[in-house]
Amino acid sequence: MVDFTRGARELELEARTRDFIRDQIIPYERDPRLGGHGPSEEIRTEMQAKARAVGLIAPQLPERFGGFGLNHRETATVFRAAGYSVLGPVAMNIMAPDEGNMHLLAKVATPEQQERWLRPLAEGHTRSAFLMTEPDNGAGSDPSMMQTTARLDGNHWVINGRKWLITGAEGATCAIIMARTATGATMFLTDMTTPGIVIERVLDTIDQSMPGGHAVVKLEDVRVPADQILGELEQGFRYAQVRLAPARLTHCMRWWGSAQRAHDIAVDYASRRHAFGKPLIEHEGIGFMLADNMVDLQQCLQTIDYTAWVLDQGARGTAESSLAKLACSEALYRVADRCVQILGGLGITGDTPVQQIFREIRAFRIYDGPSEVHRWSIAKRIADDRAKRA
């Protein structure tokens, strides 16, 4: 039976995170140093120093990397509280892509690789990037279309290709690069200063919470020593799945917190703002939108907790996390959209965080698998199950 009782450690961390976000991070939301391509290194470092002081840097990580070794369920509780500000995950070093990369490195990297790349990442001293998606009809929804190649030359792999939409590449210290090898794909770990890695440009995108924004990266004769393969040769797609299931879910957790914040702001506005002789909240059109928000938030919370529980049982959770990602990205987007509507003209301004939350969650319907790809794979499973039963 699924037990959703919250333990004392989880509740204490949730309360600590809530206080930290409210008292120390929300004030940064109006900081003029926030740029169009995510918070600057200066703000990131400043916020992380504050998180460190209250013991909230990457709390989910194993204890040997400075965390509390939280399970997925406990992680969900803390990440939801962190997401109450879009800056919260950056402050606590639990933002994409670093959080997913740290998870993968903790699971797959050798002890030497962990000391070199994971430890400084876990401590918040560096940032990382994950290079998979490609422009020019390469890997996207269908990763098997990967065009970037790696060929062995003596004791080095030589990587050539182009990647794009690479979050945090600008300013990252290290990267995980996916490239095609003889019979599949392989992941390589490398420093971003390796000759041949060129950031062509940082894209202007709808979202702006992720440090470094999203970049186009050229890989030209990038030489990577053979001992910098992450895991085993030709196992890249398998490791992508190891990273993907929990990473999809942590996005759901963080954006849940942000959607809850938008909802709280909408409730407050609808209670104070009057139209046609009464507060907006007493108009059914608004009240029902808030009720639908409650339903979506509650359903997402249960979906997140259930999926986290599945992962905690040691299951790979690929199918469950696909369902959860689809359900949460669509439902949380609906919540954010309703909140913009409830705020009227205020909703499309930067005077409240609702506009940014709306933009951030819009992008979530595309990364880690667009909604249509999740629907398509769920539909395939339905057909396969039926065929097996026939």
Ligand X SMILES: Cc1cc2nc3c(=O)[nH]c(=O)nc-3n(C[C@H](O)[C@H](O)[C@H](O)COP(=O)(O)OP(=O)(O)OC[C@H]3O[C@@H](n4cnc5c(N)ncnc54)[C@H](O)[C@@H]3O)c2cc1C
Which residues contact ligand X (rule: CB under 6 A)? 97, 130-133, 140-141, 165-167, 207, 214, 363, 366-367, 370, 372-373, 376
Q: 116: Cβ–Cβ under 8 A, 6 or more apart, which residues?
A: none
Q: Which residue is nearest to ligand X (CB)?
A: 140
Q: Which is nearer to ligand X, 348 or 379 (CB)?
A: 379
Q: Which is nearer to ligand X, 290 or 332 (CB)?
A: 332
Q: Which is nearer to ligand X, 28 or 364 (CB)?
A: 364
Q: Which is nearer to ligand X, 141 or 318 (CB)?
A: 141
Q: 142: Cβ–Cβ under 8 A, 6 or more apart, which residues?
A: none
Q: Cβ distance 249 to 72 under 8 Å?
A: yes
| Bond prior to 89 in cis (omega within 30° of 0) | no
166-182 burial: b if 16+ Cβ within 10 Å, else e: bbbbbbbebbbbbbbbe
Question: What is residue 140's DSSP assignment?
Answer: S
Task: List the alpha helices (DSSP H) in the chain.
Answer: 8-20, 41-53, 72-82, 88-91, 98-108, 111-113, 119-122, 236-272, 284-312, 318-342, 354-364, 371-389
Least Å from the CB of residue 244 to ligand X? 10
Least Å from the CB of residue 99 to ligand X? 12
Q: Cβ distance 134 to 164 under 8 Å?
A: yes
Least Å from the CB of residue 339 to ligand X? 20
Q: 389: Cβ–Cβ under 8 A, 6 or more apart, which residues?
A: none
Least Å from the CB of residue 295 to ligand X? 25
Least Å from the CB of residue 252 to ligand X? 15
Q: Which is nearer to ligand X, 225 or 370 (CB)?
A: 370
Q: Which is nearer to ligand X, 89 or 290 (CB)?
A: 89
Least Å from the CB of residue 162 to ligand X? 12
